[in-house]
Amino acid sequence: MLNRQAFVALGVAVIAAPFSGAWGSVSALIGGVIGILSGAAYAWRAFRRDAVDPKQAYQAQLLGEAYKFLVTVLLFAAVFLGCPDVAVGPLFVAYALTFVVYWMALLKQR
């Protein structure tokens, strides 16, 4: 899944270059990295081996979602505070598409 998310982010960066310039490409890559890192934060917390019964497994999933949300908010805040030249369009498109790839991979497993 990770390589598909990275491929999508790279694709958005390449497509954004003629329209938004170098900052558009960099912004798309940043958006992709935010999507990848937030998914990794979820997986790191939700799939730890300390959940032995269904209630603990459910709580681990909830904590995973909380970690994902927190990482997403913090990374977007860091980008908007630290990169005044960020191209918002490519940033959010790449983030959204990496999120779609994440969910498509989960659905494919079913």
Each residue's pLDDT tens digit, 77-104:
999 999 988 999 999 999 999 989 877 8
**pLDDT for residue 110 is more than 80:** no
The mean pLDDT of 11-18, rounded to a whole number, is 92
Q: Quick check: 66 and 46 in contact, CB under 8 A? A: no
Domain around 79: 2-109
The mean pLDDT of 7-29, rounded to a whole number, is 92
pTM exceeds 0.85: yes
Identify the pLDDT of residue 50: 72
Domain count, the chain: 1
